[in-house]
């Protein structure tokens, strides 16, 4: 999975966990709602500054928006 897709999934997950609509997140981050929608669909790639701003609004560390899902290491249990 590409990092843009990882970011899109994590952004949507964190937004839902916070109980925010795309519009509310966009308002708090001072961006357009269509931009948030495009980020969540992987249409646009966010700048590092925007990752930080969205993380602040969502109350998470920026790395949480970029973290890939953990996968077991092959050959180890």
Query: Which DSSP letter does residue 31 get?
Result: S
Confidence band of 74 (pLDDT split at 50, 70, 90): low
Q: What's the longest Cα–Cα distance across the chain?
A: 47
Average pLDDT over the chain, rounded to an integer: 92
pTM given for the model = 0.87
Q: Beta-carbon neighbour count of residue 32 at 10 Å?
A: 13
pLDDT digits (tens, 9 = 90+) for 37-46: 999 999 999 9
pLDDT over threshold 90, residue 51? yes
């Amino acid at each position: 999975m590409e990092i843009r897709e990882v970011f899109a999934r994590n952004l949507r997950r964190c937004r839902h966990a916070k109980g925010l609509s795309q519009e509310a997140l966009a308002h708090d981050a001072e961006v357009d709602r269509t931009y948030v929608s495009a980020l969540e669909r992987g249409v646009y790639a966010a700048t590092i500054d925007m990752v930080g701003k969205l993380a602040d609004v969502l109350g998470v560390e920026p790395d949480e928006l970029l973290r890939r899902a953990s996968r077991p290491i092959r050959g180890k249990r």
